[in-house]
Structure 1
């Protein structure tokens, strides 16, 4: 995430307790989509690493990044305990080009919806710098079907299409729900979990110094 001070304080406070989205397992929608995920994987905004570790256990060379030290330390601890070769590092998601690597697949579970409009555009550019042409982004974000209130911005389908209108192709968007910890005092969202969109988005543009990929959805 962009290293905005209020955002940093908010997420640090969430992890000081137990963040509602930190459910101790991968989000079910990523488990359902696992067969679509290929090759080297980047988990952007990985938190304590449950989604990353799920894919690492399936044999994907996996890198997870988050802008906070505490969840990355937890993710590294889990990787050691489970004997999984995932790599976790502290990094701003708007500076992914500094990784100096590219990936066949990327996942975003709950990061896209935190950005302002200018940072959203920067974020998509950052993703473009690391996802190979022909690679796919698997994106889960808050939906405008979730009633107004606490939590992140609600995102419309049109906003997803607009954000990825250049050098990407939105293959599918479907309605899902975030699974959260069952704590009524910490969950002001819809019963059954906050409404979300799950999108599969293919990178269609050229790689730096490369040629245009022939990718059709």
Structure 2
């Protein structure tokens, strides 16, 4: 079963092979300010074992590695992973890049202190959300964190990812996770999306 909405299954299959990174709308070249704040405030501390799901060309993975995390980055696209390895080499960052599916992540149970998802969950079909959450719960240790940034229902309307309500963000997660933080934040504007309202979620794995 494929996790992603049909539009994005087609989009992810060839975009990293055929387009420059500057032309891919979700590749910003920078880490969003909310995630930077989690590192600054040591919510995600140095030394954390972090799995970056749907890592794309590795911008977040390299950021976390540069700030002292032990990072494993996972993506289904071999071209995206190649871009990520190039970026990591440029910065001298140590990142383990693995090809894999977000519904069958190629890492051991409870092997992460933090699972990071930047704009993955908002592409997941609603009927697959609980399965995705269960896989995140398998990967992160009890007491560990799932950190998500996603499009909110206040985003500029248009094509692309689903706009998520608070119920979309919360309800599939509550079986496995407690809520440390859930809030909307305004991120950097783009030409196509001048009013970028995203969710930041920090969920803690139950069972600690």
- Note whether the superposition's TM-score is higher than 0.5: yes
Q: For residues 127-206 of structure 1, what are the structure 2 equivalents within 5 Å?
A: 127-179=136-188, 182=190, 184=191, 187=192, 189=193, 191-192=194-195, 194-205=196-207
User: What is the match of residue 209 of structure 1?
Assistant: none
Q: Provide the rounded CA distance (Å) in 1 between the counterparts of 2:118 and 2:169.
A: 14
Question: Under a length normalisation based on structure 2, what TM-score does the superposition of the two structures give?
Answer: 0.87
User: What is the match of residue 100 of structure 1?
Assistant: 108
Instruction: Indicate conservation of the 8 Å contact 2:54/2:76, yes or no.
Output: yes
Q: Provide the rounded CA distance (Å) in 2 between the counterparts of 1:168 and 1:25.
A: 28
Q: Which runs of 5+ in 2 are unaligned?
A: none
User: What is the match of residue 58 of structure 2?
Assistant: 49
Question: Under a length normalisation based on structure 1, what TM-score does the superposition of the two structures give?
Answer: 0.84
Map Cα deviations across residues 127-170 of structure 1 (whole Å, 9 max, x no partner): 01110000011110110112432121111112222011112111
User: What is the match of residue 80 of structure 2?
Assistant: 71
Return 101-110 or 125-134, whichever deviates more: 101-110
User: What is the match of residue 21 of structure 1?
Assistant: 26
Cα distance, 1:27 vs. partner?
A: 2.0
| CA root-mean-square deviation | 1.9
Aligned pair count?
198
CA separation of 1:176 and 1:71: change in aligned 2, threshold 3 A: same
4+ runs of 1 displaced by more than 4 Å? 3-6
Q: Provide the rounded CA distance (Å) in 1 between the counterparts of 2:116 and 2:130.
A: 17
